[in-house]
Structure 1
Amino acid sequence: MTGDDRDPLAWATKRSEVAYECPGFEIVREDVELPDGTVTDFDYLVDDPAVVLLAFTPGGDVVLVEEWRQAVGRVNRALPAGGVEDGDDDLAAAARRELAEETGYEADSVEQFGEFEPANGIANAVHHYYVARGCRPTAEQDLDFDESIRVTTTPYEDLLAAVRDGDVRDGRTALGVLHYELRAD
């Protein structure tokens, strides 16, 4: 069990099994006992950790991806992001790799600025946010077979306004931009 199982709110996991598996994620079903003694089942999405990049060009624009998202049936404008792979002990290196693979941009520097559980009521995903600076298109995109991505750039203030106005609907992007803005000096 992860977390603090001594907390009086903690659930006791009695049994755990993979109920469904496909490329990219699993669904786990657990038999759990609630604090009041009720026994029930709980299903959740097992999703690999991810890195999300707020990537700035030398001129101060932000590198974005426009990607088809089948679940919502539209192109989504978002910060570059990608899964942390087995053996990725250095998350900053994973962030650099994902930026290059998705966009063809490489960064002079990357620095972590946040870590969030975006949907911890239904998934165990953790997103690690990085700000990347000095990003230039010096690499080749290396997309997965199921990725349809167009790379764009936009001034940071325009991205901030798009998040504020609800024009950017991607949750990872909105969370990253707003957190960055709140912590900015």
Structure 2
Amino acid sequence: MTTDPLAWETCERRVAYSCPGFEIVNESVRLPDGTETEFDYLSEPASVCVLPFTPADDVVCIEEWRQAVSRLNRGLPVGGIEPEDDDLEAAARRELAEETGYEAEGLEPLVTVEPANGIADTLMHFFVAEGCRPTAEQQLDHNESIRPIELSLEELTDAVADGEIRDGRTVLALSYYRLFDAACSQSKTE
């Protein structure tokens, strides 16, 4: 139990709405000052996002229709962790192969974040994949419309910087990768 004076106490929890992929949870909570109120949030399984590099150091991206914003979205392979996944790396490898038809020689964890913890319990695990090659056909879910493409790291970075790519998971993956890459490069020169 959390003992921090800022902690809220959950008095009751119920699923207000459920559909494949996520739930809307309603909680009756008691705030630190004793006020009782309601709090709703989106609850979904943890997921993985892969920043996949080919042997030529291009990034394997996807173009996918996103109904919520009514447009074609360019981004990175992302998907939920499934019960048959042995671990996070297995989930990342599966999502990469399913969405792009590419497989990676190696995979390294990059970072884990809670990208919207004010409104969702989303937990996103980011990976960098190296040596990615097209080895199979895509295995898309019934509600996915995805086309794999390759971009140079600079093209991807420019598309994010210019606001052409607005997918938050892609922005986070690239930002952390560039941040950590810059930090590693800086420490090597010191």
Using the size of structure 2 for normalisation, the TM-score is 0.94
2:9 matched to 1:12?
yes
2:106 matched to 1:117?
no
The structure that is helix-richer by fraction is: 2
Partners of 1:7 and 1:66 in 2: how far apart? 44
Segments of 5+ residues of structure 2 without an aligned counterpart are: 185-190
How far did residue 164 of structure 1 move? 1.5
Question: What residue is the counterpart of 2:173 in the other structure?
Answer: 176
Instruction: Give the letter for the 1:171 counterpart.
Output: G
CA offsets per residue over residues 57-89 of structure 1, 9 Å max, x none? 000100001100000000100011110012434
Partners of 2:172 and 2:88 in 1: how far apart? 19
Counterpart mapping for 1:75-90 below 5 A: 75-90=72-87
Find the residue that maps to 2:102 and give its secondary structure: coil
2:43 matched to 1:46?
yes
Question: What residue is the counterpart of 1:60 in the other structure?
Answer: 57
Using the size of structure 1 for normalisation, the TM-score is 0.96
2:155 matched to 1:161?
no
CA offsets per residue over residues 78-111 of structure 1, 9 Å max, x none? 0111100124341011100110000000000000
Instruction: Give the letter for the 1:119 counterpart.
Output: A
Runs of 4+ in 1 over 6 A off after TM superposition: none
1:95 to 92, 97, 100: 92
CA offsets per residue over residues 128-175 of structure 1, 9 Å max, x none? 000000000002211000000011000011101111221111010001
Cα–Cα, structure 1 residues 67 and 17, in superposed 2: closer, same or farther, change >3 Å?
same
Question: What residue is the counterpart of 2:128 in the other structure?
Answer: 131
Partners of 1:97 and 1:10 in 2: how far apart? 38
Find the residue that maps to 2:116 and give its secondary structure: coil
Partners of 2:136 and 2:96 in 1: how far apart? 10
1:33 to 27, 30, 35: 30
Partners of 1:89 and 1:25 in 2: how far apart? 21
Partners of 2:86 and 2:121 in 1: how far apart? 19
Coordinate RMSD, CA, aligned: 0.9
2:143 to 142, 146, 162: 146
Find the residue that maps to 1:147 and give its secondary structure: coil
Relative to structure 2, which stretch is displaced further, 83-92 or 120-129?
Answer: 83-92
Q: How many residues align?
A: 182
How far did residue 126 of structure 1 move? 0.5
